[in-house]
Amino acid sequence: MTELSQSTLRVALVGTGAIAHAHAQVLGLDPLASVVAVADPSPAVRDAFADQYSVAGRYGSLDELLAAETVDVVHLCTPPGLHRDQAIAALRGGAHVVCEKPPVLSLADLDAVLEVAHQVGREYAVVFQQRTGTAVGHVQKLLADGTLGRPLVGVCHTLWYRKQEDYYAVPWRGKWTTEGGGPLLGLGIHQLDLLAFLLGEWAEVDARAFRLDRDLETEDTSTAVVRFANDAIVSVLTTALSPRQVSYVRVDTTLGTVEVEHLYGHDARSWRLTPAPSRTGGEPDAAPAAWTLPEDDEPSGHTPLLRAVYESFRSGSPLPPVAADPHRSLELVTAIYASAARGRPVTKADLAPGSTLRDGFLHGVEDLRPA
Ligand SMILES: NC(=O)c1ccc[n+]([C@@H]2O[C@H](COP(=O)([O-])OP(=O)(O)OC[C@H]3O[C@@H](n4cnc5c(N)ncnc54)[C@H](O)[C@@H]3O)[C@@H](O)[C@H]2O)c1
């Protein structure tokens, strides 16, 4: 068993807006982590946050923070367009980085960040919390070892509702340079990441992107058919226009159907495993005992994600599967945008190292709003 370091990790939170609270609350429960500093250019937001969590170090920027403090871990809870340069600065400053999704705005930027992490011997962990929780870990193993059969078809829906007047009134959202993409990158990436965690590497994407209603630079809706390396075919629909919101991932295999229906997080009650009937037209058989979800159920979320990541920081072992391989869902997003823009399928080979498609998302959005 790897020995865990018992010294307290000194942590900085950069960007003290909405999601930073989830980080501070989880870290507040870890006796071996101490948030010693925060950085945010907005004094009002920064001070209110630092007062709430009793943080002494308060800075207007990450650079000022790194110049004044020695920290072991930097959490990036900033707008996506800042993640690349801030991650590189924090890594070069000697800290591990925990970065909110989306990791960065292109595969080339991801390559650059991971290269620096490798050079300096620090980790770059991305928050894709839909991979976490007891149930998803169990289902992922059952799919990986064949207990659930061979995946054949699936569905991946992010049907969310985001209004123009509040959500998209935030200046960095809905723009290619600052948010990097539309609901596909900002919202759907959660479900795509979960899907790819369950099914592994993808092979080909055939997609379209539309602006149906919102006043954005980016799309507000996209569709895609994804073929995975294991030949499973998945239909993906991502939108910010669905008043009755749902997040839904489904995989039908040779032996049964696996589904998770939730909104922003899931536990064992969100999952349903239905065995195929053994006889044509018959009732479904009872599920095999191995399919039973564990009773020690922990929901998905920042809590199990940060616990697993901090264990790896303390032990010096590689990042756990719940926080590793950020390329999988970023590649899917890149391929969906590229396919929509080019009007043809995009394969994994199209995104190989050296491809210009790695440099950023192509913007092929069909504006279907009435003039
Ligand atoms: N994992 C999740 O479920 C989840 C949920 C919401 C948001 N997010 C992600 O978290 C990130 C932040 O989203 P949010 O909703 O908290 O946004 P937000 O706008 O509420 O907060 C961002 C904060 O960053 C600050 N900021 C801006 N420029 C900065 C700079 N140069 N240095 C330091 N701070 C700076 C802003 O002042 C603001 O307080 C985004 O990447 C978003 O996609 C993840």
> Closest ligand 1 atom to the C-alpha of 16?
39
Give the per-residue pLDDT at 7. 86
In the block, which residue shows the tokens 């699936």?
Answer: 154
CATH number of 9-127: 3.40.50.720
Report pLDDT digits (tens) over 347-368.
999 999 999 999 999 999 999 8
Contacts of 38 (CB under 8 A, 6+ apart): 12, 13, 14, 16, 20, 46, 49, 50, 55, 57, 58, 59, 65
Report pLDDT digits (tens) over 180-196.
999 999 999 999 999 99
Give the per-residue pLDDT at 311. 95
Give the per-residue pLDDT at 371. 73
| Mean pLDDT to the nearest integer, 77-97 | 97
Query: Does pLDDT of 155 surpass 70?
Result: yes
Closest C-alpha residue for ligand 1 atom 36: 15
The alpha carbon of 173 is separated from its chain's Cα centroid by a whole number of angstroms, namely: 17
| Mean pLDDT to the nearest integer, 207-217 | 97
Q: Compute, in angstroms, the gap from residue 106 CA to the centroid of ligand 1.
A: 18
Name which of 222, 207, 156 is nearest 345 in CA terms: 207
> Closest ligand 1 atom to the C-alpha of 302?
1
Query: Does pLDDT of 211 surpass 90?
Result: yes
Report pLDDT digits (tens) over 290-301.
899 988 899 999
Give the per-residue pLDDT at 268. 95
Query: Does pLDDT of 304 surpass 50?
Result: yes
Query: Does pLDDT of 1 surpass 50?
Result: no
CA diameter of the chain:
70
Report pLDDT digits (tens) over 7-25.
899 999 999 999 999 999 9
| Mean pLDDT to the nearest integer, 209-216 | 97
Q: Compute, in angstroms, the gap from residue 45 CA to the centroid of ligand 1.
A: 12
How many CB atoms are closer than 10 A to CB 68?
10
Residues of the chain with CATH 3.30.360.10: 131-301+329-367
Report pLDDT digits (tens) over 93-133.
999 999 999 999 999 999 999 999 999 999 999 999 999 99
**What are the DSSP E strand ranges found in the chain?**
9-14, 33-39, 57-59, 73-76, 96-100, 124-127, 151-161, 202-211, 221-228, 233-239, 241-253, 256-262, 271-275, 346-347, 366-367
Band of residue 308 on the pLDDT scale cut at 50, 70, 90: very high
Q: Bridge-partner residues for 205, per DSSP?
A: 226, 346
Q: Compute, in angstroms, the gap from residue 209 CA to the centroid of ligand 1.
A: 25
| Mean pLDDT to the nearest integer, 52-69 | 98
To test the ligand 1 pocket, which listed residue (77, 105, 109, 190) has its Cβ within 8 A of the most ligand atoms?
77
Which residues have any ligand 1 atom within 6 Å of their CB?
14-19, 39-42, 45, 61-62, 77-80, 82, 100-101, 127, 129, 170, 186
Give the per-residue pLDDT at 340. 97
Q: Compute, in angstroms, the gap from residue 238 CA to the centroid of ligand 1.
A: 21
Name which of 174, 172, 165 is nearest 220 in CA terms: 174
Name which of 318, 307, 101, 336 is nearest 207 in CA terms: 336
Question: Could you give the count of Cα atoms lying within 13 Å of 169 in the half-sphere of its Cβ?
Answer: 4
To test the ligand 1 pocket, which listed residue (40, 46, 98, 109) has its Cβ within 8 A of the most ligand atoms?
40
Query: Does pLDDT of 55 surpass 80?
Result: yes
Query: Does pLDDT of 57 surpass 80?
Result: yes
Contacts of 25 (CB under 8 A, 6+ apart): 302
Let me know: does 178 contact 81? Beta carbons within 8 Å: yes
131-301+329-367, CATH topology level:
Dihydrodipicolinate Reductase; domain 2 (3.30.360)
- CA-CA-CA-CA torsion sign (67, 91, 309, 249): positive
Residues of the chain with CATH 3.40.50.720: 9-127
Band of residue 6 on the pLDDT scale cut at 50, 70, 90: confident
Q: Compute, in angstroms, the gap from residue 172 CA to the centroid of ligand 1.
A: 10
Q: Compute, in angstroms, the gap from residue 83 CA to the centroid of ligand 1.
A: 10
Query: Does pLDDT of 285 surpass 80?
Result: no
The one-letter amino acid at 94: G
